[in-house]
Amino acid sequence: MARMSWWLVVVAAFFAAPAVSEAEETGDSSIQLRLHFEGASGPGSGKHIVFVTGEEYYRSEEGMPMFAKILSQRHGFDCTVLFAIDPESGVINPNKIQNIPGLETLASAELLVLFTRFRELPDHDTKHIADFINAGKPVIGFRNATHPFRYSADTSSAYASWDFRSKKWPGGFGQQILGDTWVSHHGKFQKEATLAKVNAQHASHPVLRGVSPELFARTDVNGVNKLTADDTVLYHGHVLPALNREDSPVTDGRNDRPMPWAWFHNYTAPSGKTGRSFCLTAGASVDWLEEDLRRLVVNSVYSLTGLEDKIPPRNNVDFVDAYEPSAAGSHTDAEWSTLNLRQSSFGLTTSGRKGPTAVGSGAAFK
């Protein structure tokens, strides 16, 4: 199944109709590229969202462009998607932990959507994220975003305290900005799924408008133990014994205290400014096949960008293009090279809609 899904990505990339990028026109592979979708009409018109991907397992490079298409074409947001890039070849490769071109686009963003794991970016790149956070702007984090940065023991980085193991800034970026850092797998990795149940205390929250009180995800439940009474937990994750939606939650004691699974957190930035975030410990590309999980995310975008009063009874989260997600799993550098995925591989293919542009920043890959 995993191998079949892997080749689905190859086929999709081959048959996609991507925009022609500046690098492709000039042959200059040193130009930094980012995928941008201009917003159509909608409540989000004039608001810019930047998605930052870079994790090896859950196929964020597939799921985040899908959301960018929905949010731009159905809700009016301008959306930019950034990827971990091999600086030698220019292909998408999440194994390259030090290169995510285009972070300067955060300067014009109203919202950061983060789905990275164990990155160690150069300080001049991380500064763009730091400036965004220090301005108190909103953040959404998926799955591995609770542990998005990891630094070498001998690092001299000004952002070493962002490490998920940090004692200086306890729990690093994840705990401080999203509410928790990496704790553990509460369910069995790759063997047990999640049934998320709404927190009755917040069942009338506007973000839950049109969202089912129970949600399914093929990712396992993660351990979470740093949240406080100030955090707004919308769902708790219950462990399922296998990867089937129809299964009943396990009765071995792990569900006696179900884990926070989706929540809002109020953070204080190093600058002293305060901001708001939303965290969801699901997020594999296959998880997004759950329509109401997509609706939860889109509603959260509305909330964090000042549009909470505009959340309709049932927000439109239909896919814009065909979405055939790959199974979770890591790839070797050689496999990423064979896949040859680039920003434009995830461009908009639906006819009659505004297409993507791969934008050159004019700077060399770092």
Question: What pLDDT is recorded for position 350?
Answer: 63
Q: Is residue 205 part of a domain?
A: no
The percentage of the chain sitting over the pLDDT mark of 70, rounded to a whole number, equals 86
What does the pLDDT average to over 89-104? 97
For residue 2, what pLDDT band results from cuts at 50, 70 and 90?
very low
C-alpha 58/C-alpha 81 separation (Å) is 16
Question: What pLDDT is recorded for position 26?
Answer: 33
Task: State the virtual CA torsion across 355, 317, 55, 39 in degrees, nearest 10.
Answer: 30
Amino acid sitting at position 305: T
Task: Pick the closest to residue 302 from 61, 38, 70 (CA basis).
Answer: 70
Q: Which residue has the tokens 């925009």?
A: 19
The percentage of the chain sitting over the pLDDT mark of 90, rounded to a whole number, equals 86
Question: What pLDDT is recorded for position 205?
Answer: 98
Q: Which residues span the domain enclosing 142? A: 2-184+262-360
Q: Which residue has the tokens 């022609």?
A: 20
Question: What pLDDT is recorded for position 64?
Answer: 98
pLDDT in tens, 199-228: 999 999 999 999 999 999 999 999 999 999
* 99 neighbors 37 (Cβ within 8 angstroms): no
pLDDT at position 79 over 70:
yes
Q: Is residue 275 part of a domain?
A: yes
Q: What distances in angstroms separate CA 152 from CA 47, 119, 135, 162, one per listed residue? A: 36, 10, 27, 12
For residue 295, give every residue at least 6 positions away whose Cβ sits within 8 Å of its Cβ, in sequence order, or none: 210, 211, 314, 315, 317
User: Residue 267 has which token pair?
Assistant: 């953070």
Looking at the structure of the chain, the number of domains it has is: 1
Stated pTM of the model: 0.88
Pairing of strands 48-54, 111-116: parallel
Q: Is residue 129 part of a domain?
A: yes
**78-82 sheet: strands from edge to edge:** 214-217, 194-198, 232-239, 259-268, 274-280, 139-142, 111-116, 48-54, 78-82, 33-37, 356-360
C-alpha 94/C-alpha 325 separation (Å) is 17
Q: What angle do CA 323, 328, 334 make, to 5 degrees?
A: 100
What does the pLDDT average to over 229-249? 97
DSSP 8-state class, residue 302: H
Higher pLDDT, 16 or 138: 138
Q: Which residue has the tokens 């014994």?
A: 241
Helices 60-73 and 291-304: angle between axes, nearest 10 degrees: 60
Q: Is residue 347 part of a domain?
A: yes
- Average model confidence (pLDDT) across the chain: 89
The helix (H) or strand (E) run that includes residue 173 is helix 172-173
